Amino acid sequence: MQSREKRAFTLIELLVVIAIIAILAAILFPVFAQAREKAKATSCLSNAKQIGLGLHMYLQDYDEKFVATRWSDVTDACGVGGTAINGSQWNVMIQPYIKNTQIFACPSDSTPPGTGVSQSRKRSYVLTSGPRDRLNGDCSAPGGISHTDWGAALAEINTPASMVACYERWESGSNLDNPFSVHQDLSGTQDWCQYADPTGKSWLQYPRKSHWFDSSPNFDPQHVQRATLVFADGHAKQLKYEQTWSSGGGPECTGSGPTLWSMFDKRLNP
């Protein structure tokens, strides 16, 4: 009786199999990564919707005024140079309506929350405010819905569905227990785009592209270059920077969207 000879794979055959596996991995791994990021983006958007609801529930209890970004021990006009009162930051003030601290962190945000602070205490969202060096005499910000010791009245906003009230901004050291990095803390023309209205008057109306999402220049959002925005009427969506405003400026100040960064917006919608 003849015995059947066992045949092993040749080296070439093994190399072909390895090459096929490598090609499949190169094709599938990016797909898996995109799917994972899409899931995180969906979770981030869900968080933002809950924040929008919390902001509006606060509104109903406080004479339809938005929550201040934080409160301070006033030592000068508007408390700009005052000592921030820990525990007064906006996320703490709306916490009774949300009852969940985890929604303030975007799952994609890997920036450090601060020395010795758990990543679970990360805060990935800020309230929209105007240039910090142009506060009005009544402590109102020249744009945005709140600032230190001040929150705008809902009636002051002409188009709440287009006004950005809160959005995703990743900053190192920002966490739930820190009264800083609570609003869009930008200043002057280095951070803000200027817009000249039909009368020729210039306004600082919206943040430059290189500074809108993070303090590090040219850092784009992870959600397919989209950031999560909460609007003054409570709804939320994810948009690219270029979709958030309308202007005819240079590369850092050009877009086509109708979304407003300032409640005193003087730009014309497209």
- Domain range annotation of the chain: 14-256
pTM over 0.85: no
Query: Which pLDDT score, from 0 to 100, does residue 267 have?
Result: 45
Query: Which pLDDT score, from 0 to 100, does residue 8 have?
Result: 67
Report H helices in 62-124.
Answer: 90-93, 95-98
Let me know if 11 is exposed, middle or buried by CB neighbors in 10 A (0-12, 13-18, 19+): exposed
Of the candidates 263, 234, 244, 242, the residue with the CA atom closest to the CA atom of residue 48: 234
Question: What is the Cα–Cα distance from 59 to 156, expressed in whole angstroms?
Answer: 13
Any idea what the Cα angle at residue 143 is, between residues 80 and 81, rounded to 5°? 5
Query: Which pLDDT score, from 0 to 100, does residue 221 have?
Result: 74
Query: Which pLDDT score, from 0 to 100, does residue 47 have?
Result: 95
Query: Which pLDDT score, from 0 to 100, does residue 227 have?
Result: 87
Query: Which pLDDT score, from 0 to 100, does residue 163 have?
Result: 85
Token pair 């002057």 is at which residue? 188
Q: What are the per-10-residue average pLDDT scores of the chain (270 residues)? A: 63 83 79 76 93 95 92 67 81 94 91 90 89 66 77 86 88 89 75 71 71 65 84 91 68 68 50
The secondary structure of 109-120, three-state, reads: CCCCCCCCCCHH
Could you tell me if 125 and 104 are in contact, meaning their C-beta atoms sit under 8 angstroms apart? Answer: yes
Query: Which pLDDT score, from 0 to 100, does residue 105 have?
Result: 93
